[in-house]
């Protein structure tokens, strides 16, 4: 991911970079490389041309999109949908495999998995996606617990058990400006 102020600079870099890679027998992947209009003026420029919202891009498991906070431009990040679906599918398979283990043991494992997921994805502006992840995890485990025997666990008992083992999401990473100010005080 590279950013340029002017389109001409980006196009020139892309052609020169392709030439440099060709010297080593490498090439740029055409499906993973594209030029997009992104930044604080992208929305107003596209609006004047009659186009829609600025494009988004996926990078390192996040979908990046343009936004505004307190009247200032900001790059928002949310968990990429494909990445979340893959993780939930893996958890579903693992929960199915652990179906007959003690609930406390599975709950402890599930809580540690979710805390690890939060450590990576808990960035500012991603709370709704993290809440959706927890909600879907809630239902996945409910279905597995329900298949353990002929009798279903009471709803209130399951809810309290899930809340005990799987924490609610909270943002653990500060905004980049806060990190910069902490490292470089004025």
Structure confidence at residue 177 as a pLDDT band (50, 70, 90): low
pLDDT of residue 4: 76
Q: What is the pTM of this model?
A: 0.79
Q: Which residues on adjacent β-strands are paired with residue 73?
A: 68
Average pLDDT over residues 38-55: 80
Average pLDDT over residues 34-52: 80
pLDDT of residue 102: 92
At residue 184, does pLDDT exceed 80?
Answer: no
pLDDT of residue 146: 85
Instruction: Name the nearest CA neighbour of 34 among 52, 51, 59.
Output: 59
Q: What is the pLDDT of residues 82-111, one digit of tens each?
A: 999 999 999 999 999 999 999 999 999 999
Compute how many other C-beta atoms are within 10 angstroms of the C-beta atom of residue 7. Answer: 10
Structure confidence at residue 68 as a pLDDT band (50, 70, 90): confident
Q: What is the pLDDT of residues 112-170, one digit of tens each?
A: 999 999 999 999 889 999 999 999 999 999 988 888 877 777 888 888 888 899 888 88
Cα separation, 61 vs 119, in Å, equals: 13
Whether residue 30 contacts residue 11, with contact meaning beta carbons closer than 8 Å, is answered with no
């Amino acid at each position: 991911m590279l950013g340029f102020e002017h389109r001409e600079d980006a196009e020139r870099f892309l052609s020169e970079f392709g030439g440099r890679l060709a010297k080593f027998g490498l090439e740029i992947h055409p499906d993973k490389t594209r030029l997009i209009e992104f930044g604080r003026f992208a929305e107003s420029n596209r609006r004047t041309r009659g186009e829609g919202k600025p494009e988004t891009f996926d990078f390192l498991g996040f979908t990046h999109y343009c936004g505004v906070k307190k009247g200032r431009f900001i790059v928002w990040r949310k968990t990429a949908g494909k990445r979340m679906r893959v993780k939930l599918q893996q958890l579903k398979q693992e929960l199915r495999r652990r179906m007959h283990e003690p609930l406390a043991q599975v709950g402890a494992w599930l809580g540690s998995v979710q805390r690890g997921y939060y450590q990576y994805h808990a960035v500012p502006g991603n709370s709704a996606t993290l809440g959706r992840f927890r909600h879907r995890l809630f239902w996945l485990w409910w279905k597995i617990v329900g298949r353990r025997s002929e009798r279903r666990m009471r709803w209130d008992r399951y809810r309290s058990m899930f809340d005990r083992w799987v924490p609610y999401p909270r943002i653990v990473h500060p905004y980049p400006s806060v990190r910069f100010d902490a490292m470089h005080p004025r």
